[in-house]
Structure 1
């Protein structure tokens, strides 16, 4: 008698929870800074009991929220995003894709007073402040297809920049929504291909798209029809911001690889575009994909060969320089988002064991000026989530603030919200949550103000 091994994304730190709960007046160790008045919301894949998705990304979205106010942790709650897909509705229908049949399990943001759960193949889903599902949101009919899970809010204007991508023409459509939520303009981006575009970057003057070697593959049957192709060129596309900028996009060849998440991008003092984010090579993608689908030959973690990389695009001479900047496996880069699109000194990330299982989990801080790297070690069998930066009251320095991360602790079968000092990564406070929160993907801090 043989048994089918459990999918890796349904075990260990990624084991789904089976129900929705609400808990109030959580225990706090240490002191919560009083400016932490708001909600930390975090999304992740959490299929319902008895459901085994064919790919990690196919798991239904569940949002976890923690409410902080006046030095107290008022509540924790978790809710599935109640889309048609949660009850089994298919994405592909006889009439084409159903953009409401979403996992809604990749990210959750707030813009113009709306809390939106995101998945890049679908429409956003609006949630209440208490995480109940309102329904699909299409920007008053201006969004008729998919929306990236990684929109960028300009810290100066409040505009929301985002895109929709497709394996079929038009491959890429770019949008800008105003600070009040209305779509200001949209345009198809010429020259794009069916390559996977999960994230992108916005600088003060440009929009930057990244196409790696992962592209549409109709022969892939995991439910996520993408795969590595040596025939798909890796490229960076740079276009001016503003209406009409798409017509002036320029594409630059780069070394083979694939990027999922951008750390930041900006124009340097010579007008060159500096872009950073962790990437994988062909073998790194193979190991990650095998983990995501539960195939043999997988790495211990999906980010086992993901290394920080920097590109410098010289628009004047049409060249791109690039380098791997660190040998530590990392993913989920974040920063003080007041510096989004501008030159930043500090970047944060989550560290993972390498492909042999060596190394541990932690929260990493990079100093881009000195090249220094600092790690807050999570501890044995403890996996931190993406570290969300929150500025301190009256902050002047870039790293004057806090990092919020939810830790999955397998030994204790528990989770805690850690509040770290972003300058030195020292722990300031621990909020004990009423259950172990599964390892998730992305989230946001939503201040009351």
Structure 2
């Protein structure tokens, strides 16, 4: 094994696909947790050393819960042409099926889709076997973001295609049952890297940061920080023809990899929240991603919570740092996606000096407080996913699901936490039959969504 940080420690790939049944449970799994927790991560085959963390082949890990039981764990590579060595770039141009499919996994319209932003989605079965590329019944002829947004009220799925070449940005909307309803090119977009975006009740929001296409970058991910790249927020109305009404608002230099949420406040302003890095933080993160020597660097170095408040009437943006913790992988209760939320969850990393342990964080935006759940040395929790409790009425009335990598035991466990109070003991812990490589994204998918 090489010394690349994304191939060692918590991120060490697993070498095979397994299935285990009848998992051991401590505590009591709430019966409403009947479905699948599915995580995606970069997991190159044995003997393969990708030049960048993001170039590793995707592997999904699933935990099946049913009415208080943990029925199975299974892990499967997403079997794309790239898994067997097919190149992304061919003499005929990009092969959109040659995907790592290793960034995210979602459900929409009854389909499970493994995602990577440079390619088409790959459909999976409920047992995580690969079906094949999904082009939305011929409606998608370009790549698809790994971070689509499903409106909790309409059920519509918003997603986009971003390219270093014109057209730089296309916004798509699919119906709740998986039919593409609308596709619009967004005027004025640039070759800046767009990994995530946001929706509000009436708008779609894109951030273009200080990272842009650079063919001189040879790690396999051709993007670099550029002081010359204009940083800005694009706001367009939802609905047919909305892209033609896009407005771009200049902001300070930085880059936001992931957004927690966005909403319209009572004054008609658009509020966007998520972690952001400056130039130094981006470079240290990049050093980790490509395996360049940089002692103390983390995969998300220097990433701190930020808020942008766009005032369309005044044509202004107010920017503010809202917390000093180094955090990433922000999540909210998805019922509040695009609407004002009170609670937000994130994963805190050791600071820029490597001090501290990994910690789950709960923010209460109503009073500006935070609650911390630190994990011990050698333990790394993953992205915390909120699942509502049966009969719950409050925004945080539910559970947080996270998969913890434990280097001390060379094992992993799925932990069910009471989202209303992180100081409480875990509601339940499911012991997994192997260590699951750390981080990247996933989804909780109730059984009702796959029937």
Q: Confirm or deny a common fold (TM above 0.5).
A: yes
Within a 5 Å distance, the mapping from 1:245-394 to structure 2 comes to: 245-297=242-294, 299-394=296-391
Distance of 2:397 and 2:82 partners within structure 1: 41
- Kindly state the Cα deviation for residue 91 of structure 1 after the two structures are TM-superposed: 0.3
Instruction: Verify the 8 A CA contact 1:171 1:192 in the aligned structure 2.
Output: yes
1:223 corresponds in structure 2 to: 220
Q: Deviations over 1:14-55 (max 9, x none)?
A: 000000000000000011111000000000000000000000
Match of 1:16 among 10, 13, 17: 13
User: Runs of 5+ in structure 2 lacking a partner?
Assistant: none
Distance of 2:297 and 2:185 partners within structure 1: 39
1:439 corresponds in structure 2 to: 438
Q: Deviations over 1:291-319 (max 9, x none)?
A: 00001225431112000000000000000
2:160 corresponds in structure 1 to: 163
Instruction: Verify the 8 A CA contact 2:287 2:297 in the aligned structure 1.
Output: no
Distance of 2:436 and 2:178 partners within structure 1: 31
User: Runs of 5+ in structure 1 lacking a partner?
Assistant: none
Indicate the SS of the match to 1:292: helix
Q: Deviations over 1:205-231 (max 9, x none)?
A: 000000000000000000000000000
Distance of 1:356 and 1:405 partners within structure 2: 26
TM-score norm. by structure 1 comes to 0.98
Runs of 4+ aligned residues of structure 1 deviating over 6 Å after TM superposition are none
- Kindly state the Cα deviation for residue 408 of structure 1 after the two structures are TM-superposed: 0.2
Corresponding residue pairs, total: 446
Taking a change above 3 Å as real, the CA distance of residues 197 and 299 of structure 1, as seen in their structure-2 partners, is: farther
Indicate the SS of the match to 2:286: helix
Match of 2:57 among 60, 67, 87: 60
CA RMSD of aligned residues (A): 0.8
Distance of 2:173 and 2:143 partners within structure 1: 14
1:242 paired to 2:239: yes
Q: Deviations over 1:44-89 (max 9, x none)?
A: 0000000000000000000000000111100000000000000000
1:92 paired to 2:93: no
Instruction: Verify the 8 A CA contact 1:290 1:298 in the aligned structure 2.
Output: no
1:128 paired to 2:128: no
Distance of 1:199 and 1:216 partners within structure 2: 16
Indicate the SS of the match to 1:411: coil
TM-score norm. by structure 2 comes to 0.98
Distance of 2:297 and 2:187 partners within structure 1: 39
Indicate the SS of the match to 2:158: strand
1:108 corresponds in structure 2 to: 105
Within a 5 Å distance, the mapping from 1:143-182 to structure 2 comes to: 143-182=140-179
Within a 5 Å distance, the mapping from 1:176-195 to structure 2 comes to: 176-195=173-192
